Structure 1
Amino acid sequence: MKVHFISIGGSVMHQLAIALKNKGYQVTGTDDEIFEPARTNLIDNGLLPASMGWNPDMITADLDAVILGMHAKADNPELLKASSLGLKIYSFPEYIYQESITKTRVVVGGSHGKTTTTSMIMHVLRQRELQFDYLVGARLEGFDQSVKVTEAPVIVCEGDEYPASVLEKRPKFHFLFPHIAIITGIAWDHINVFPTFEIYLEQFRIYIDKIEKGGILIYNESDTQLKALVESHRRSDIRYQPYGVPQHKIEEGVTEVTIEGATAALKVFGDHNLLNLHAAWYACKELGVDPEQFVAAISNFTGAAKRLELLGSGPSVNIYRDFAHAPSKVKATIEAVKQQYPQRTLFAVLELHTYSSLNEAFMSEYKGAMDQADHGVVFYSKHALEIKRMPDLPENKVVEGFAKPGLKVFHDKAQLWEWLQAQDYAHASLLLMSSGNYDGLDMAGLAAKITGK
């Protein structure tokens, strides 16, 4: 197979390129900019383009497939030539499906918890030494890459609802056709793509329609929006498996879970992680894992990167970093930390960084999200607004939207840094939530200073 990537430097695109090279395919690719860690990964695998920019001469009639990344525009010269030659052009998920037609496909969809649930399934299958391919959106301990494509009989995929490519505007998870489908929950997001909640909701109805005949839908029945959708959109040719928070207890900051009579202490915590775990269990059960095997494996799962990741700890303080940015994710993450350490003061610091979270019209969606925090802080960079070509976000609209008494709002990183260093973290939890990097602030250094390590 001879495959060419347009926008090979994408965070997941370059991982697929490496996976296909490892499979023995002839792989080429181009991009107009490539950043770390993609650059080093491509160099290490001999796939870094000789020069930056687009090169239509690389588009030849003998290519078996052209894979188009989200970064490429509709007038990309390589794309135009590939179209003129009548070559097969795939978005990332369309190509993943081509590589997995003969496999059992497990797809994890939902507005939140996708990465963690996918990672949990992968972790258990690996612990059981079962052969499987995968596609996940974050670094996971024990896995060298975030994409693997081999001759394995199973593939586990994180199913994103964001558009597949510049040519294919439908969500990525519409192209994966699962046998085992999961929906973790539904909360409006990506308002730049789905301007109304009903349009967003429709994507999940379509996802349910894409489940292979005879397949199963595993869904979070504690999510009222999701439960209502499933109950109003039933299929007679698939099975349904609802789930909720499983049986568990918390003692001295440690959560112990019980699944069908099998019990073990966990290294992760919070109702949202327990929900993710329960969804992962039902998927693993479909793949032949029994309760004792599942619980034994999941007991040493430490989480995906930036999902309640412990940055530092001391005798009476823990500092966590989390990817949370959407309202439902922020609320769940804050509640998880407060539930685990109810006697500690909780400092919750959220960076608004995505198109949705920086949109004034979206602020009301955050109402109540930070209620469980003792000290709530929201930071957003004027630079982020400029890069996204978005209008200014008035501070008072943020305060009104969150409706959190005493909420502090910063858009100057120096002021945020000064505030963070001035707080008393004795008997406290510090939760740093962002899909960005706080405009370059050294949060790992802050954690080291607080803990003295």
Structure 2
Amino acid sequence: MNVHFIAIGGAAMHNLAIALHNKGYKVTGSDDTIFDPSKSRLEVKGLLPDTFGWFPEKITNSLDAIVLGMHAKKDNPELLKAQELGLKIYSYPEFLYEQSKHKTRVVIGGSHGKTTITSMILHVMHYHDRDVDYMVGAQLEGFDVMVKLTDNNDFIVLEGDEYLSSPIDRRPKFHLYKPNIALLSGIAWDHINVFPTYENYVEQFSIFVDSIVNGGSINYNEEDLEVKRVVEASENTIRKLAYQTPEYRVDNGQTLLETPEGELPIEIFGAHNLNNLAGAKWICQHMGIDEDDFYEAIATFKGASKRLEKIAESPKSVAYKDFAHSPSKVEATTNAVKEQYSNRTLVACLELHTYSSLNAEFLKEYKGALNAVDVAVVFYSPHAVEIKKLDKVTHEQIANAFERDDLVIYTNPEDFKDFLFAQNFDNKALLLMSSGNYGGLDFDEVKKLF
């Protein structure tokens, strides 16, 4: 099969391109710019375009399919040529469904936790040498790629993102997978540029639950009241199986999970991660993993990349970075670190980087998100606000949103860096939360502080 990717350099797109290449497909692609790690990975496989840009002449009747990425625009020259020729154009999730429609599809959805839960499931399967197809949104230890597709495996595990499918397909990605087995971890308003009201956002999860195939099942976090309401209100003929955070305790910086065989030391920590673990256990049992085998494997799980990832440690200090940026994720992550290191001063630095977090109206959702923190710092770039064509955000608006009089706010990357490097981290825990890099912060330099 001959497949061309429009916007091949995206995080998800380049992984799918590599997966198809590994499967034996002929793969080509275009993009106007490609950064690492996508660039290096494509180059190794011989899939990196010779020249960056859009070239309609690449689009011919010899192509069996076009995969269209979100980075492309509706007037993309290659897309217009493909439409003119009447070629089959797939969004990323549509193509994944085509590749998996004869498999048992396991889809992990939720505003938060989906990457971690998917990673936990794959870690357990890998530990027990159970080969499955998958798509996950983070690089995992022991896995070379983030997408794997075969003709042989019975199961495929898909991280179910609620963001849009493509420039010409405005449906959320997870509406297209038609799960046999599903999980819903949590609902907290996000992506307000696409879902302008909370009610509109929640509706997408109702559609997801209703998209589960007849006779399928959903495991859901009953501690999230919105999840509970959405799942229990669905009239879809599926099994509904609730889960909740298991019993655990923290002893001198070590999290101990209660199991039928006694306390189990685990690498991950925080109530939200223990809740994720409970969901992953259910899914693994659906996939044929016994409870004892699950616990044996999960004890060695260290977390997904950029999800409470430990970057430095000394006898009296520790530093983590985390992808958290939405209010619910920020609150869960800060609570977890404070619980784990209750006898240390927690310094938490949050970069407001996404469209939602830089929206003056949405800022109010951050109320209480940093309450567990001893030293709370927020960094944002006024230039990023301009690029996203949003109304100007002021220091006062941010301070009022978080409801902390002692909130430290930086807009200049150098000022933020000076603050960070002036700190004495003895008996402290540092938490860096961002989907960006604080205007160019070198994390390797930060490690030298510990």
How high is the TM-score relative to the length of structure 1? Answer: 0.97
**Secondary structure of 1:360's aligned partner:** coil
Amino acid at match of 1:439: G
Give the Cα separation in 1 of the matches to 2:346 and 2:77. 52
1:298 aligns with 2:298: yes
Give the Cα separation in 2 of the matches to 1:447 and 1:27. 39
Q: 2:211 matched to which residue of 1?
A: 210
1:260 shift after superposition: 4.8
Q: Deviations along 1:372-416, whole A, 9 cap, x unmatched?
A: 101111100122223323232111000000002311111112221
Give the Cα separation in 1 of the matches to 2:57 and 2:326. 42
Q: 1:261 to 1:229 in 2, by over 3 A?
A: farther
Give the Cα separation in 2 of the matches to 1:96 and 1:131. 18
Give the Cα separation in 2 of the matches to 1:405 and 1:124. 44
Amino acid at match of 1:173: F
Q: Deviations along 1:253-308, whole A, 9 cap, x unmatched?
A: 11121345465211110011101111100000000101110001010101111111
**Secondary structure of 2:439's aligned partner:** helix
More displaced, 263-272 or 331-340?
Answer: 263-272
1:186 aligns with 2:184: no
Q: 1:447 to 1:34 in 2, by over 3 A?
A: same
1:168 shift after superposition: 0.4
Kept in 1: contact 2:413–2:438 (CA 8 A): yes
1:267 aligns with 2:267: yes
Kept in 2: contact 1:114–1:159 (CA 8 A): yes
Q: 1:5 matched to which residue of 2?
A: 5
Give the Cα separation in 2 of the matches to 1:116 and 1:370. 22
Amino acid at match of 2:66: V
Q: How does 1:121-270 map to 2 (within 5 A)?
A: 121-151=121-151, 152-235=153-236, 237-261=237-261, 263-270=263-270
**Structure 2 unaligned regions, length at least 5:** none
Q: How does 1:337-416 map to 2 (within 5 A)?
A: 337-416=337-416
Q: 2:322 matched to which residue of 1?
A: 322
Give the Cα separation in 1 of the matches to 2:134 and 2:443. 31
More displaced, 384-393 or 39-48?
Answer: 384-393
**Structure 1 unaligned regions, length at least 5:** none
Q: Deviations along 1:66-108, whole A, 9 cap, x unmatched?
A: 1000011111122122122221110000000000011111111
Q: Percent identity?
A: 52
Amino acid at match of 1:412: N
How high is the TM-score relative to the length of structure 2? Answer: 0.98
Root-mean-square deviation over aligned CA pairs: 1.2
1:56 aligns with 2:56: yes
Amino acid at match of 2:177: L
1:216 shift after superposition: 0.8
Give the Cα separation in 2 of the matches to 1:252 and 1:244. 25
Q: 1:351 to 1:359 in 2, by over 3 A?
A: same
Kept in 2: contact 1:262–1:295 (CA 8 A): no
Give the Cα separation in 2 of the matches to 1:414 and 1:30. 36
Kept in 2: contact 1:260–1:291 (CA 8 A): no
Give the Cα separation in 1 of the matches to 2:16 and 2:54. 19
Give the Cα separation in 2 of the matches to 1:425 and 1:47. 45
Q: How does 1:419-430 map to 2 (within 5 A)?
A: 419-430=419-430
More displaced, 240-249 or 92-101?
Answer: 240-249
Q: 1:437 matched to which residue of 2?
A: 437
Q: Deviations along 1:178-233, whole A, 9 cap, x unmatched?
A: 11111110000000110000000000000001111111111111011211222222
Kept in 2: contact 1:263–1:295 (CA 8 A): no
Kept in 1: contact 2:231–2:240 (CA 8 A): no
